[in-house]
Amino acid sequence: MEFLGDSAFSALVKKLKPKQNLLAVSKLQPIEKIEILHAKGQKNFAENYIQEAIEKTKVLKNLDIEWHLIGPIQKNKVKLLQNHFAYIHSVDSLELAKKISEKALEIDYIQKVFIQINLAEEATKSGLQKAEFLNQWQQFKGLKGIEVVGLMTMPPLENDAEKNRIYFKELKKLGDQLNLHELSMGTSQDYEVALEEGATWIRIGTMLFGERLKK
């Protein structure tokens, strides 16, 4: 199978500074493409759908892959999480964080998470508004089954890259305020600006893999 993102992968890796990481978003992509990208040196892969992700972790269990979950999590699916994911990027409420913490403690696991902040306050997107998050921060910190390692945001998709700079700056400022230095921000359309503003994880999918399969 031809590797669709060979040149894109090499170019992306060259743009990363120390402590900046490429997260290959492999949702709805075939196993073969993940294997090819892994053979090129990519270790971090992200999935959006829990059941699809768990199936891939089983099929590819012999590869040295660190799996991330970046999609919305329905509360009734938390029981499926177990210890399949090194990081969850999409914790969008205190209630969800509590459920993840409870399930993690049941299996003696500490789940590393990012808190999703809806800086643009878009009604169509998940995430806590900044003021709400700050009010709840001490409660997040008190949960024993999770470790909040950083923050995640998804600016308006219709924006050009430069228009999203303000949101990346704001997330960096909020992270610095709370001593949270892992920042999951930036996708194919705006990752260069996100890197300039301090992203430590950029989430890149089609640019690496080509078009997705239909779900």
Extended strands (E) in 12-85: 21-25, 44-47, 66-69
pLDDT at 215: 62
CA dihedral sign of residues 193, 204, 96, 142? negative
Residue 23's nearest CA partner among 119, 93, 89 is 89
How far, in Å, CA of 184 to CA of 187, rounded? Answer: 10
For the chain, which domains are there?
6-12+22-209 (3.20.20.10)
pLDDT at 2: 46
Which helix (H) or strand (E) segment holds residue 193: the answer is helix 191-196
pLDDT at 1: 40
Task: Please say whether the beta carbons of 201 and 184 come within 8 A.
Answer: yes
Task: Please say whether the beta carbons of 214 and 196 come within 8 A.
Answer: no
Q: Residues near 175 by Cβ (< 8 Å), separated by ≥ 6?
A: 150, 151, 181, 182, 183, 198
Neighbours of 93 (CB within 10 A): 18
pLDDT at 103: 97
6 to 2, 15, 41, 49, 186: CA distances (angstroms): 9, 15, 11, 25, 20
pTM of the model: 0.94
As given in the structure block, the two tokens for residue 146 are 């999770």
Task: Please say whether the beta carbons of 207 and 5 come within 8 A.
Answer: yes
Flag residues of the chain having pLDDT under 70. Answer: 1-6, 214-215
pLDDT at 210: 83
How far, in Å, CA of 205 to CA of 212, rounded? Answer: 9
CA dihedral sign of residues 120, 25, 198, 194? negative
